[in-house]
Amino acid sequence: MFSDRYEITERIGIGGMAEVYKAQDQALRRVVAVKVMLPQYAADKEFTERFRLEAAAAAQLSSPYIVNIYDWGQDSGTYYIVMEYVRGIDLKSAIQQRGAINQRKVAEIGSQVCQALSVAHGQDIVHRDIKPQNIMVQPDGNVKVMDFGIARAKNSVKARTSNVLGTAHYISPEQAQGKELTGTSDIYSLGCVLYEAATGHLPFDGEEAVNVALKQVQEPPVPPSQVNPNIDADLEGIILKAMEKNPFNRFQTAQEMKRALDDYLRGRAVNLGAGAATTTIMGNNAQTQVMGANDYGYNNFAGGTEVMTPIEGTSKTAVRDFRVDDSAQKKNRSRRIAVGITTAVLLAVIAAIAAWALFFNQDDGLAKVPELSDLTQAQAEAAIEKAGFELGDVEEVYDADTVAGHVCGQDPEAGTEAEKGTKINITLSLGVEKGQIPNLKGLSADEAQDAIEKAGFVAKFGGNENSDDVEQDKVCRQDPEPGTEADAGTTITYWISSGVESVSVPDVRGYPERDAIATLEGAGFVVESQAGDYSEAYDEGTVMSQSPNGGKLEKGETVTIYISQGVDPSTLSKDVPDVSGMSESAAISALNNYGFQNVSSEYRNSTEVPEGNVIGQNVYSATADSQIVIYVSIGPAASTPDDGGNNGNNGNNGDNGGNNGGNGDNGGNSETPNTDDQNTNPNENLSTDPNL
């Protein structure tokens, strides 16, 4: 794990100064490629600076044909670059597996690489290491140029050092000599790549890299058509112009080379400009060595004739020096005349030999198998019969490089000799393979990547998003939809669930119950409503409390609300009905019905209210839990009978007692007769109390 973010999963390549790994970006949840500097170079400041410059240079470039650079850093002394993970195969591996590639495909690859170089050169960046290993062919057939590991801005100091960087089989002559480079150096390297792709062979090879580099400087390439006779003359002309030894005779810009390739692909006339200068080969005694910029170089140009002379002050055999003088021109003119005569004689001999062979072998029954690539079945059959052969088996395979219904393979191969009448088997293209988009919902990111790749498609991580029905870290959405049919190599984008969205819980206290439910459900919650308590703060029928109150919840969770019953009626005063005159039971029942449950009775004498009926009550306004007392009549009080006048007075009710009655302090009813001599007349001492 680098920087607590990039988790290494497997190694996918190794180069001269770094290894490349497949990794998972934990922050953005996508597959990336991580280029890690080899440990032996980590302490080398020049290499670490080159590593940093690679990231800086490539990060400036934006093109569909250039691998994107995402990040750069170092962790515990290990330097790394994070870049786009490109699925597919590098062009070198493709050539090794298939040999020569279909020439139209070669031109398409060249056009796309030119587009990438045009972007880089437009920012004064020279790649310096264009080779098939650095060109990735994706499943959809498009390419991406990668590895700007030795890229340098043209005006940088390091661009003018004498260090020779790059791969010997593809470096330009000026790069082999350590000269200052321009975009035409990349064009030369691309010419070497296209040469190899079109022929299946390197333009220059040798046992050691230094020998190959010297050939880049000294020797012209063998024309591609002599290696692969099926190459079109226009494509061959483009390749050879790109590989001119003199930078000024090449395409001057990548865009110019792209136009030539596009013209070839569209069947238009290819304009290669003025004739290229002839490359002069150094003598056989040239030293085998890659030269630095301070050793020698192109001194000047004159007359277009190249004469190899040592540069003054050096002991090494010089590469090309374009200085000429009159005597050199005369010698070269004589040499060209002699070469022309010799060539004419050789051509005449070759023609005679060919005519002789044709005459004496015309009936040997052998014929060359025709080139059938890109022909329809009918066209191929006509060509086979015209050449004296018969159509054999016809098979069909998916081939993204060939239009459906056209020939993408044949047996025997084109250009081989076979007896006339031999059956020629052909393979027709079904075009781009179709496949059904897999259902990724509920899969992890790794599972989704594997499912997409196994189905023949290209995976792309779209990002994270909330989902109500898919758990976190699983695929919740994809494009295109599952079950649809698409071409192999189609990009399928998938999104990973961040789980259910968490939202703030609205505060609905004080809302009427219906409004509170609508508000909470609108926010995505399930609502449970329960009866609350009495409340003086919240009106009856409104929300008095909720759980939870505030904070965040995932959508779909439950919020409980409690509905106020209003003010507690037991705390409110209200009128107490007048139950006077009612029977005791009727009065108690009436008061209970009015909400007064705490009713008690007191009994009193009354001459006006019949016994058992209510005389009155203690209150006429009270709270529901107040005690209500009703006074119930027990009828008039009973009187005391006369016993011979001795009693004098049987006073009752002390307030109105007679003068001589037995009257206590309170004038109450005395049961003891008063024997005072002065109060012996009972008629004079009767109490005036009306109840007596």
Task: Report the binding-site residues for ATP.
Answer: 35
Q: Which SS3 state, helix, strand or coil, does residue 151 take? A: coil
Instruction: Cis check for the bond before 673: say yes or no (omega within 30 of 0).
Output: no
Q: How far is CA 75 from CA 34, 506, 620, in A?
A: 13, 46, 90
Q: Which residues are annotated as a binding site?
A: 35
Q: How far apart are CA 189 and CA 27, in angstroms?
A: 38
List of residues 6+ apart from 213 with CB closer than 8 A: 164, 168, 171, 176, 290
Confirm whether 71 is a catalytic residue.
Answer: no
Q: 81, 19 in Cβ contact below 8 A?
A: no
Q: How far apart are CA 19 and CA 603, in angstroms?
A: 111
Q: How far apart are CA 596 and CA 569, in angstroms?
A: 11
State the alpha helices, DSSP H only, in 404-555. 445-454, 513-522
Question: How many H helices and E strands in the chain?
Answer: 14, 32
Which H or E element spans position 601? strand 599-604
CA diameter of the chain: 196
Q: How far apart are CA 386 and CA 637, in angstroms?
A: 152
List of residues 6+ apart from 681 with CB closer than 8 A: 648, 660
Written as one letter, the residue type at 165 is L
List of residues 6+ apart from 253 with CB closer than 8 A: 118, 121, 183
Written as one letter, the residue type at 140 is D
Q: How far is CA 411 from CA 227, 366, 386, 395, in A?
A: 20, 16, 17, 11
E strand map for 432-582: 434-436, 458-465, 475-479, 485-487, 491-497, 502-504, 526-531, 543-547, 552-554, 558-563, 573-575
Q: Angle at which helices 183-199 and 254-265 pack, to 10 degrees? A: 30
Of residues 71, 129, 234, 321, which has the active-site annotation?
129
Chain-centroid distance, C-alpha 520: 33
Q: How far apart are CA 668 and CA 662, in angstroms?
A: 9
Convert 620-639 into a string of H (helix), E (strand) and C (coil).
CEEECCCCEEEEEECCCCCC
Residue 304's φ and ψ, nearest 5 degrees, are 80, 0
Q: 617, 631 in Cβ contact below 8 A?
A: yes
Catalytic (active-site) positions: 129
